[in-house]
Amino acid sequence: MFARFATQLTDALSLADYAALSLYAVAILAITYVIERKSAARPSTARLMAERRAIWMTEMANRDVRIMDTQLLAIQHRGAAFFASACMIGVGGVVALIGATDQLLAVARDLTAHGVERQRAVWELKLLFLLFIIVLALLKFIWAHRLFGYCAILIGATPPLDAHQRTRSATEAAAINVNAGRSFNRGLRLIYFSLAALAWMLGPLAFTLATLLTVLMLVRREYYSETRRILDRDAELGADDALR
């Protein structure tokens, strides 16, 4: 049965589909490397925020009362939980679509002028691929949620008097918080790319265009946004810029 399914996919998918899928995989890996690389002359917004996370944990260790720190960490904790819940809803939605492939094909034929693939196996593959991307995002958010919990424990374990142990705990908390932020950001990028994967339903050309638009949007937000300029220590901020 599996061999028959694989044969149907091989016959139904075109070279354009394989090319679009390859571009999609390369785009995810490339954008992750570019955004997270440490030796970049022009760091991304994510890297700049990672530096702020480390500074935050250093300041936390020097405070006797850390109520503000725990509240800020709780906000991050809830953010990861929110997106994890949203991904679980997305997983349920895609699974429901897989069970209603015939209705989806009928709707797609009505909405597209040039027709769509009629092979059930191809549409199920596309839905399974979308499900795979959403599940990856879900796992990233779950791991970020857990790491934020670890960071909260490290904050609670930071002693108020022992300077050496306080510095060590701050370094550990900073590393865990940075890792949590990295996992959270990867989950967000996968959500962006899941929307691009959804465009595969309209064909390989739409899939390719959606992938390129996603990459351009991420590059713009990480390197050319107003937020990134504000975070850059070398940028000069005027009063008007700060109020934007």
pLDDT in tens, 164-190: 788 888 899 999 999 999 999 999 999
From the number of C-beta atoms within 10 Å of its C-beta (0-12, 13-18, 19+), residue 213 rates as: middle
Rounded CA-CA distance 20/205 in Å is: 7
Residue pLDDT, tens place only, 52-84? 999 999 889 888 888 898 899 999 999 999 999
Say yes or no to pLDDT of 108 above 70: no
Highest average pLDDT, of 64-73, 112-121, 154-163, comes from: 64-73
**What's the mean pLDDT in 94-119?**
64
Q: What are 198's two structure tokens?
A: 């959804």
pTM, entire model: 0.84
pLDDT for res 109: 60
Q: Which two tokens stand for residue 86?
A: 């949203």
The closest of 133, 131, 125, 113 to 186, measured between CA atoms, is 133
Measured distance CA(132)–CA(136) in Å, rounded? 6
CA pair distance 134, 28, nearest whole angstrom = 14
Please report the pLDDT score of residue 238 as a whole number.
Answer: 44
How far from the centroid of its chain's Cα atoms is residue 228's Cα?
18
Integer angstrom CA distances of residue 12 from 18, 20, 112, 124, 233: 11, 15, 18, 12, 52
Tell me the C-alpha distance between 172 and 44, whole Å: 23
CA dist 140 and 186 (Å) reads 7
From residue 193, give the alpha-carbon distance in Å to each of 26, 42, 43, 212, 216: 12, 24, 22, 10, 12
Note the pLDDT tens digit of each residue in 22-38: 999 999 999 999 999 88
Residues 125 and 178 sit within 8 Å (Cβ to Cβ): no
Give the residue, 244 or 220, on which the prediction is more confident: 220
**Cβ(191)–Cβ(197) below 8 Å:** no
